[in-house]
Amino acid sequence: MMNAEKEAIILFGHGSRIPGAGEGMEQVAARMREKLPREIIEICYMSRLGRHFPEVFESCVARGATKIIVMPYFLHTGLHLIEDIPELLRDKAAKYPHVKLVLGKNLGFDECIVDLVIKRLVESKDLPDIREQKPPTDSPDGG
C-alpha cells in the first residue's frame, strides 16, 4: 500500500562560526538516511555557517515533501525552541498551506543520555589537566 504523503525530516541545530562544528549532527543525519531510506533527511542551522531553515525547507518541498517534521537538535528548551524556531516554521506554513509542518520534540532528557554522559565520563578520566592541554591550532575540519 502506497502512502500519499512524502515525508521529510529536518534536523535543526544551533550552528557555529567554527567550520566542522556540526559534524556530529551531520553524522546522525547520515545514519538516519541509512535507517530510514524512504525519508528525505536534511540538516539546517539556526545561525552562522551551514544551510538555514528557509533554504532547506524549500529544497524538501521541491523534492516532493508534503509533510516536514523539524527535529530540534537541542538538548535543553530555550529561546530558540520557544520563539525563534516556531516563528520560522509559522512563516513557511503560511506560505505553503499544502505542506504539513510539524515541530518535533527536542532531545531533552532520556535514559540513553545518562548512559552517554557516563560513557563520556569514562573516556575523560585519563585526560590531562587543563593546564597541560594545548588549545587547538587548526579548525576541526583540518583547515
Q: How many CB atoms lie within 10 A of CB 69?
A: 17
Residue-level pLDDT at 3: 53
Local confidence band at 48 (pLDDT 50, 70, 90 cut-offs)? confident
Q: What CATH number belongs to 7-129?
A: 3.40.50.1400
Q: How many CA atoms lie within 13 A of 17 on its CB side?
A: 0
**Amino acid, single-letter form, for residue 92:** K
Q: What is the dihedral of CA 99, 12, 54, 52, to 10 degrees?
A: -160
Give 9-36 pLDDT, tens digit per residue: 999 999 888 888 889 999 999 999 999 9
pTM of the shown model: 0.85
Q: Is 137 or 82 the better-scoring residue by pLDDT?
A: 82
Residue extents of the structural domains in the chain: 7-129
| CA atoms of 130 and 118, how far apart (whole Å) | 20
Mean pLDDT of 65-86: 95
The Cα–Cα gap between 56 and 62 comes to 10
Confidence of residue 1 (pLDDT cuts 50, 70, 90): very low
Among this protein's residues, is 14 annotated catalytic? yes
Query: Which residues are paired to 67 by β-bridges?
Result: 7, 100
The rounded distance, in Å, linking the Cα atoms of 14 and 59 is: 20
β-bridge mates for residue 100, sequence order: 67
Give me the pLDDT at residue 138, please: 53
Active-site residue, selected from the candidate residues 14, 52, 76, 98: 14
Question: What value does the mean pLDDT take over residues 71-81?
Answer: 93
